[in-house]
Amino acid sequence: MPKTSLWLSPSCPSHPKTEAMDAALLPNRFQSWFAHRGWSPRPHQLQLIDHLSAGHSTLLIAPTGAGKTLAGFLPSLLELEARGKRKAGAAGSQGVHTLYISPLKALAVDIARNLEAPVSEMDLPIRLETRTGDTPSHKRQRQKTNPPDILLTTPEQIALLLSDPASERLFASLKTVVLDELHALVTSKRGDLMALGLARLRKHAPGLRTIGLSATVAEPLDLRAYLVDQPDPGTRALAHVVEVSGGAKPDVSILNSEERLPWSGHSSRYAMGDIYELIKGHNVSLLFVNTRSQAEAVFQELWRINADTLPIALHHGSLDVGQRRKVEAAMAAGMLRAVVATSSLDMGIDWGDIDLVVNIGAPKGASRLAQRIGRANHRMDEPSKAILIPANRFEVLECQAALAASRRGDQDTPPLRKGALDVLAQHVLGMACADPIDPVALFDEIRSAETYRALTWETFEKVLSFVATGGYALKSYEQYAKLKKGKDGLWRIAHPKIAQQYRLNVGTIVEAPMLKVRLVRSKADGRRAPIGRGGRMLGEIEEYFVEQMTPGDTFIFGGEVLRLEGIRENEAFVSRAKTDNPMIPSYMGGKFPLSTYLAESVRSMLATPGSWHALPPQVREWLEIQQEKSVLPSKDGLLVETFPRGHKNYMVCYPFEGRLAHQTLGMLLTKRLERLGARPMGFVANDYALSIWGLGDLSLLFSSGKIPLDTLFEQDILGDDLDAWLAESSLMKRTFRNCAVIAGLIERRHPGQEKTGRQVTVSTDLIYDVLRSHEPDHILLQATWNDAAEGLLDISRLGELLSRIQGRITHTGLPRVSPLAVPILLEIGKEPVYGEAMDALLEDAAEELVLEAME
C-alpha cells in the first residue's frame, strides 16, 4: 500500500505570509524538486534554515505530520549542495558534516531510507550512512577513516565514537547535530549520556549548531537550554525556538459502555465487546495498553470473541524480534485491522493509515496520551480519533481529567532531569580512552551541559576517583588503578584493555535479566522423562517474573496460557497449558505512575460535585453515596478513613500521588504505626489510594488523639524510617545494580555469558550490603539514591505530598467500608501485599510445617 513519506507530507496551501526566507530563494534543484512533488516548503522549514544559517541552534516543536524531519535536514542538504562534491584531500573534507541522532536504531535506519529519495532525486553530492549496533564492523571501521557527510545514529554510538582517539579528526568539521524525538530522549539516562556527548562534540567543533525535534512539551525552555553550551553557571543560555501550532484538534472521547463499570482491576474485560465493535467500525486500529501483561490479556480476550476472525496482532517488547518485525511488516502492508501494543510503539516509526487509537486503561499522563493519539492519522490537517477505555471507576476520573487536558492542549511532561552520576562515570572513562584527561578542562566541559550545570568540583573528583580506583575511602586499589595520573597532571588509562572493557559496557540501558521462553512438551502428560531439548523460542521474559513461580504454574505469554516446566540456565521451558485461567495474576502494576498534573485534576474533580455531570451515571452515583456515607477528599488535603472489617481494622487514605509514592509511604507508615503500638499487619497501594490494616483499633487511636494524624504523616518520616527500610528494599538493590553496571563497577552480561551468569557471579545485592555498611557516602550509593528518589520510590513526590497536607488531614471514623475504599480493598490479594520483614514470612512457613506435622 503506498503511503506518504515518513518525514514529509503533502503541504498545506502555501502561506501568503512568510516571516522567514522566501521559498523562491531556495536553489533551483530544490525548487523544482518541491514543484515536481506538488509540494512547497512550509514556513517553519524555512524559518529553521534561517536560524541555522545565522549560526543559531534551534528547537523545533511541531505535532506529528508537520514535516519535522525534513525541516531538520533541509539546512544541511542546502549547505552540502552549496559545498559541491568533496574534493579528495581538501581541508575539512575528512569529517562528518551532520549527525542525526535518534533514540531508536530502527528509526535511524528508516529516516536514512527516506532521506535517500530526495538526495538521489535532486542528485545531491551527499553521502549518507547509518551506524548502529547492527552495522558490520568493517563498515564501522571505514566510517572512521572515510566518514559520510551525514551520519544517522544513536546516542550509544556517539559515545563509542567519542571514546576513539580519532574522534577529534572525525568531528572537527561537524556543523550540525539533529536530535530527533528530543522530548523522549531527555527523560532518560540516555539523555544524560547524549548531553555529555554534545558537550564533547562542541569542543571538537566550536561553531556547532544543534537542532532539536520535539513534540509539544510542558517546559520548552528546558529543551532549549539542553541544546546549547552553558558557558555561565549563573544564567541559562537558550536555543532559538520555532513552534508549529498543532493542526486539527484530536477527536477524543471516553467509551460510553452499557456494561457495568468494574470497581477495580485493570483488565477492561467488561469493554471487550465494545472494543471489538470499534475495531470492526474502523479500517486500522491501534490499541494501546500500559503493560505487557495487559497486552497479553486484551489480545487473548479479543481473539476469544473474534467471530469474524479479523486480523488482530500483538506487539510488545518481550516478543521475539522476528515476531515483532512480522507484525510491523504486516501493519505497513495494510494486512491488519488492529494491533494491541505497549509503549514499544509509543514512538517513532509509524505505518500507514491508522484511523483509530484506543487507549485501554488509564492514560497516566496528558502528554503521554497526546503522543499516543498522534499515532493516528499522520496528517496535520485531519483530526486524529481516539477513544479512552477506563478499566475501573477511578480510571474514569483519570480519563476525564486527561480528556479535559487534551482539549485544552495541556502538557505534563516531566521537568528536565539532573544529570546522573553513574552516566558521568561512564563518560569520564570514555573520555580517558580517547585522550589523556585534564581534570579541570573536563570539569568545565561537563558543566557546559545543561543537565550537569550544577555539578560541584567535589562530586566530580569523587567520580574521577571512582573511575580510577573505585573511589573508596580505603585507598587499597591504587596499584590496580584504571586511570593513572602522569607527571604532566593528565590522567591516562592504565592499559589498552581498559578501553576494550569500556566499549563492551557503553550505554545506559540495563536490561532486566531476561530468560528466553522456549516451548517444550509438557511433563503433565505423565511423561517422567527429563525435559527435552526444547523447541520454538517464544520470546523473552523478566527473570524476576519467573522467579516467583514454581514449575506447574501457569501464566499468559505471547497470547497463550503457558505452563512453566522448569528453568535451565537462561531458558524458561514452558508448555501449552490446557486451561484458560492462568494461575499467576498477570497484572504487575503499570510502569508509569499517575502524573502530578492528572492527580491534581482528579482531586479537584472529586472535590467539585458541580463538575460530575460529565461522568457516567454509575460513577456519579458512586461518588454521591461516598458523599453521603463518608466525606469527599478535598483538593489539597488528605482524607483518612478508618473502619473495622472482619477481625481487622482498616485505614484508607487517598493521596492520589501514584503507586510508587504510595508504596513507599505505606512501608513507612506501617513501620511507624508498629512503633506506636497500632499493630499493623500489611498494606496495599494503587495509583489513587493506600490501605493499611492491623489489629489495633485505628479509629480509636486516631480520634482519641493517641496517635495524632499530623504526627503520623510528619515529614520526618522520610528520615530514619526510610533509611532503615532502604537497607532491606529489593527495589533499592535493583536500582543499585543498574547504577553499578552503567558506572562500570561490574561488567555487563553479554550474549553467551549468561550460562554461568545465573549461578554465581558477584551478586550486586551483596556488594550493596557491604558498601552500605562500610561507606554509606560512596558515590555509587549517591547515584542510587538519586535514582530512587526520582524513580522507583518517588521520594521527591512523597515529600511534596507530606508538606502539602500538613494541617489539612481529615479523619473520618466509619462503621463500615466506604464506597471510595472498595476498589483498594478489592486489590488485596491481587496486588502483592507488603508487610512484615522477610523473617516473619519464613517463620510462618516454618510454623505451618509444624502444624502439618502435628495433625
Partner 1 sequence: MSALTSHLRKYASAPVCHDIQINGQLVGLHDSGVLWWPEESTLVVADLHLEKGSSYARRGVMLPPYDTGATLEKLAGVMDAFDPARVICLGDSFHDAGGSDRLPAHYRAMLTTLQLGREWIWVTGNHDPVAPVRLCGETVDQVELGPLKFRHEPVEKIGSEAAEGEICGHLHPAARVRRFGRSIRRPCFTTDGTRMVLPAFGALTGGLNVTDEAFGMIFRRRQFSVFMLGNDRLFPFTASRLVAD
> Where on the chain is the footprint of partner 1 (CB under 8 A)?
466, 469-472, 474, 476-477, 480, 482, 495, 497-498, 501, 547-548, 550-551, 566-567, 745-747, 758-763, 766-767, 769-771, 773-775, 778, 832-833, 838-839, 841-846, 849
Measure the N-to-C terminal CA separation of the chain; round to a whole number of Å: 71
Q: Smallest gap, in angstroms, from Cβ of residue 682 to partner 1?
A: 10
Cα gap 780→768, rounded to integer Å? 10
Which ranges of 59-146 does DSSP label H, i.e. alpha helix?
Answer: 68-83, 105-121, 137-145
Nearer to partner 1, 166 or 837 (CB): 837
Q: Smallest gap, in angstroms, from Cβ of residue 266 to partner 1?
A: 17
Nearer to partner 1, 405 or 493 (CB): 493
Q: Smallest gap, in angstroms, from Cβ of residue 746 to partner 1?
A: 6
Nearer to partner 1, 94 or 501 (CB): 501
Q: Which residues on adjacent β-strands are paired with residue 178?
A: 100, 211
**Structural contact between residues 598 and 405, judged by C-beta atoms closer than 8 angstroms:** yes
Handedness of CA 630, 633, 637, 641 (dihedral sign): positive
Sheet of 690-694, strands arranged across: 809-813, 638-645, 648-653, 690-694, 680-685, 834-835
Please state the φ and ψ torsions of residue 241, each to the nearest 5 degrees: -140, 140
Please name the residues in contact with 370: beta carbons below 8 A apart, sequence gap of 6 or more: 215, 216, 250, 406, 411
Q: Smallest gap, in angstroms, from Cβ of residue 674 to partner 1?
A: 16
Please name the residues in contact with 498: beta carbons below 8 A apart, sequence gap of 6 or more: 429, 432, 433, 482, 483
Using CA atoms, how far residue 277 sits from 174, 255, 306, 355, 502, in Å, is 53, 12, 10, 14, 53
Give the residue among 596, 252, 639, 612 at the shortest CA–CA distance from 397. 612
Nearer to partner 1, 50 or 747 (CB): 747
Number of H helices, E strands in the chain: 33, 26
Place of cell 491481587: 830
Q: Smallest gap, in angstroms, from Cβ of residue 649 to partner 1?
A: 21
Q: Smallest gap, in angstroms, from Cβ of residue 547 to partner 1?
A: 7
Q: Which residues on adjacent β-strands are paired with residue 822?
A: none
Nearer to partner 1, 445 or 754 (CB): 754
Q: Which residues on adjacent β-strands are paired with residue 209?
A: 176
Nearer to partner 1, 614 or 842 (CB): 842
Nearer to partner 1, 182 or 515 (CB): 515
Give the residue among 554, 414, 576, 431 at the shortest CA–CA distance from 493. 431
Nearer to partner 1, 444 or 844 (CB): 844
Cα gap 143→156, rounded to integer Å? 16
Q: Smallest gap, in angstroms, from Cβ of residue 756 to partner 1?
A: 11
Q: Smallest gap, in angstroms, from Cβ of residue 248 to partner 1?
A: 48
Cα gap 462→425, rounded to integer Å? 10
Nearer to partner 1, 360 or 498 (CB): 498
Cα gap 786→421, rounded to integer Å? 9
Which helix (H) or strand (E) segment holds residue 274: the answer is helix 272-280
Nearer to partner 1, 621 or 728 (CB): 728
* Secondary-structure percent of the chain, ordered helix, strand, coil, rounded to 5: 45, 15, 40
**Structural contact between residues 735 and 787, judged by C-beta atoms closer than 8 angstroms:** yes
Nearer to partner 1, 457 or 480 (CB): 480
Q: Smallest gap, in angstroms, from Cβ of residue 789 to partner 1?
A: 22
**Structural contact between residues 356 and 372, judged by C-beta atoms closer than 8 angstroms:** no
Nearer to partner 1, 235 or 773 (CB): 773
Q: Smallest gap, in angstroms, from Cβ of residue 825 to partner 1?
A: 17
Name the 3-class secondary structure at 550. Answer: coil
Q: Smallest gap, in angstroms, from Cβ of residue 495 to partner 1?
A: 8
DSSP 787-840: HHHHTTS-HHHHHHHHHHHTT-EEEEE-SS--GGGHHHHHTBTTBPPEES-HHH
Nearer to partner 1, 258 or 852 (CB): 852
Q: Smallest gap, in angstroms, from Cβ of residue 684 to partner 1?
A: 13
Kindly compute the dihedral angle of the four CA atoms of residues 325, 330, 331, 337, in this order, to the nearest 10 degrees. -130
Q: Smallest gap, in angstroms, from Cβ of residue 457 to partner 1?
A: 22
Nearer to partner 1, 426 or 642 (CB): 426
CA atoms within 13 Å, Cβ hemisphere of 414: 18
Q: Smallest gap, in angstroms, from Cβ of residue 479 to partner 1?
A: 9
Q: Smallest gap, in angstroms, from Cβ of residue 323 to partner 1?
A: 27
Nearer to partner 1, 283 or 500 (CB): 500
Nearer to partner 1, 220 or 507 (CB): 507
Q: Smallest gap, in angstroms, from Cβ of residue 774 to partner 1?
A: 4
Q: Smallest gap, in angstroms, from Cβ of residue 771 to partner 1?
A: 5
**Structural contact between residues 266 and 556, judged by C-beta atoms closer than 8 angstroms:** no
Grid coordinates given for 76? 544541511
Grid coordinates given for 336? 491488519
Grid coordinates given for 353? 493509515
Cα gap 40→23, rounded to integer Å? 8
Nearer to partner 1, 335 or 842 (CB): 842
Q: Which residues on adjacent β-strands are paired with residue 179?
A: 101, 212
Nearer to partner 1, 482 or 563 (CB): 482
Q: Smallest gap, in angstroms, from Cβ of residue 732 to partner 1?
A: 16
Give the residue among 440, 443, 467 at the shortest CA–CA distance from 454. 443
**Structural contact between residues 623 and 652, judged by C-beta atoms closer than 8 angstroms:** no
**Structural contact between residues 386 and 250, judged by C-beta atoms closer than 8 angstroms:** yes
